[in-house]
Structures are given as structure tokens and as C-alpha cells.
Amino acid sequence: MIRFILRRLAQAVPTLLAVVTVSFFLMRLAPGGPFDLERPLAPAAMDNLRRVYGLDRPLIAQFGYYLAALARGDLGPSFSFRDRSVLDLIARGLPVSATLGALALALATGLGVGLGIAAALRRGGIVDRLLGLAAALTLSLPSFVVAPLLQIVFGLTLRWLPLGGWEDGAPSHLVLPVITLALPQIGALARLTRASLGEGLRTQPVRTMRSLGLPPIRVTRHALRGALLPVVAYLGPLAASLLTGSVVVETIFGLPGIGRYFVEGALNRDYTLVMGTVLLVAGLVIALNIAADLACAWLDPRLRVAA
């Protein structure tokens, strides 16, 4: 168990290194720099700025310095938010994105898995058929359409909920962004659960249990344990992407999360901020994938032997 985690963590190092390297050089290859203004700076001022931020050194040296700082846990200063470090910015934005993401994840998992089970138990029934349509529909609703629609209906027409803003996480400000984030995932999770449980219910051991006269609840519980494996495997990357925020949702609802940092940082050539965000996302993806694998091993003893 411990060895498994350690091995996976060791495997994560090269992946993260690849992420850092690719994004570092990709950004530096791109035309433009962080201090390009509409009115160009005086050459002397530009040289000064570049020296202060270490941009005058050769690229390889800069990369070395960045890695060294990274090893100390320092993500460097932000180029576009003056006097703020990237860590500082992430510490401010992450709670916002993570709160929304965690709520959306809980909502999507609860509803999606629940509906999926209901559909699998009554294959071809009303729930099943409606769910087939509804899942295809929610999967096809882009957040940048859902968000403005929700704003119109609940914000402008009914005036039940605020149009946007964070307000220190007041519950009424959370409702619309959370629904927007959760909606497509409800469909995806329901579909996955239905397919997986449907298959599980047809396996030989489950049939045997049923023929032996076990109560349906116990049979279902038994089949569900194995059927949840693909769902859990899907939840890992999903959690990572939900927790790190969504550019679209945060822009439309005016939320100060980290989803926006990335696109804004890239547009402003804020090298360190982009690197910090990419690293955070990659790290979370890896960590949550390991967590998902552990959960799978807990659900299915056969995987423990393989690991």
C-alpha cells in the first residue's frame, strides 16, 4: 500500500517535469513579453525590468533558476499582478474555485450515480429511457450557454438569485455557478453508472446470487461495488478539473477563482502565473488519479494484488 503510493509518486515526478519543461519553453518561444505595453517602454527601463525579473539571462539559465526555486516551493513573483507572488495569488483564488468545484462534484456524483443506478435496475423503463435522452442533453449543454441562460431565468426574470459575484461565498451566490459546473457531469456519471452496473448485473456471480434467492437489495449492493470502479476512475480527473476552476464559469459569473488566472496570465505573458497554474492542475490531476486508484483497490481486491 505505502509502496504503491510511493511508486506512483515517484512516477509523477517525470510527468510533472515534462509539464514544467513543455510549458516553460512553449511560453518562451512565443512572441511577445510580459512588459509589452501599448506605448513601448524606454529601452533603459525595459532593460532594468528584464534584469530585475531575471529575463536577461540565457533561457537555459532561467529554466535552471526556475527549477531551483520550484524545488524550494517558490513559484516566483507574478509579472502582471505587481507585488504579488504566484503562491499568494493561488492561495487567494484556490478557495473560491475549490469551494465551487467541491459542491459541484458532490451534486454531480449524488445525482448522477443515483440516476444511473435507477436506470440500470429498470432497464428499458421510464427512468432509463428519459435518462438516455437527458444524459445526451446535459452532455451537449456547453457551460457558456447554460451560464447566461441561468442568469437570464433566475437572475433577470425571476430575480431569485444574484447574477454573479462572490461576496465571501454567500450561499445564494454559489447556486448558479455550481449548477452550471455540475450539469454536464450529472449526465456523464449517470450514463457511466448505468452502463457499468447494467453489465455487472448480468455477470455470472450476480445471477447465481439471484437464483439462490438473495434479496434484490443485497444483490444490487454486491454488483454495485464492482460497477463503481469505472465511476471512481472517472471521478479522479473530474475532481481535478472541477476543483481548479473553469474559465468560462468564473468569467461569466465574475468569480475571483484561479480558472481565470490561466487565460489572463497567458494573454499577459505572465510566465510565472501560467506555470504555477499549469503545475497546480497537473499536480492535482496526478494526486487525484492516485486517490482514485487507491479507492478502486479498496473496492476490488483483485487490483490490490496487481498493484
- Over the window 187 to 216, marking each residue x when it contacts other proteins by CB under 8 A and - when it does not, the resulting string is ---------------x--------------
Residue 156 in the binding site for other proteins (CB under 8 A): yes
Can residue 176 be called a binding residue for other proteins (CB under 8 A)?
Answer: no
Which residues, 6+ apart, have CB-to-CB distance to 46 below 8 Å?
A: 35, 40
DSSP run (H or E) holding 212: none
Q: Considering beta carbons, is residue 104 or 290 the nearer one to other proteins?
A: 290
Of positions 141, 175, 291, 299, contacts other proteins by CB under 8 A: 141
The binder of other proteins chosen from 289, 299, 303, 307 (CB under 8 A): 289
| CB-nearer residue toward other proteins: 197 or 274 | 274
Interface residue with other proteins, options 9, 13, 30, 41 (CB under 8 A)? 30
> Hey, is 197 helix, strand or coil?
helix
Which segment (25-33, 111-119, 211-219, 291-299) binds other proteins by CB under 8 A?
25-33
Among 9, 15, 51, 304, binds other proteins (CB under 8 A): 15
32 lines the binding site for other proteins (CB under 8 A): yes
- Four-CA torsion 212, 215, 218, 223, nearest 10 degrees: 60
Interface with other proteins (CB under 8 A), residue from 144, 210, 291, 307: 144
Binder among 136, 208, 298, 304 for other proteins (CB under 8 A): 136
Which runs of E-coded beta strand occur in 137-279? none
Nearest residue to 247 (alpha-carbon basis) of 93, 32, 80? 93
Q: Please tell me the distance from the alpha carbon of residue 233 to that of residue 58, in angstroms, as a whole number.
A: 43
Count of residues near other proteins by CB under 8 A: 46
Coil, helix or strand for 246? coil
Per CB under 8 A, which of residues 87..126 are in contact with other proteins?
A: none
> Given phi > 0 = left and psi -120 to 50 = alpha, else beta, which region is 246?
beta
- Residue 287 burial (C-beta neighbours within 10 Å; 0-12, 13-18, 19+): middle
303 contacts other proteins (rule: CB under 8 A): no
Q: Which stretch binds other proteins (CB under 8 A): 26-34, 46-54, 76-84, 172-180?
A: 26-34
Identity of the residue, 139 or 214, whose beta carbon is nearer to other proteins in the bound complex: 139
- Is 182 a binding residue for other proteins by CB under 8 A? The answer is no
* DSSP symbols for 71-126: HTT---B-SSSTT-BHHHHHHHHHHHHHHHHHHHHHHHHHHHHHHHHHHHHTTTSH
* Neighbouring C-beta atoms of residue 64, cutoff 10 Å: 12
Nearer to other proteins, 81 or 262 (CB): 262
Residue 233 as a binder of other proteins (CB under 8 A): the answer is no
Task: Kindly tell me which of 85 and 289 has the beta carbon lying closer to other proteins.
Answer: 289
Q: Which of 247, 291, 295, 307 binds other proteins (CB under 8 A)?
A: 247
Interaction site with other proteins (CB under 8 A): 12, 14-15, 18-19, 22-23, 26-27, 29-32, 132-133, 135-137, 139-142, 144-145, 148-149, 151-152, 156, 202, 237, 247-248, 252, 262-263, 266-267, 274, 277-278, 281-282, 285-286, 289
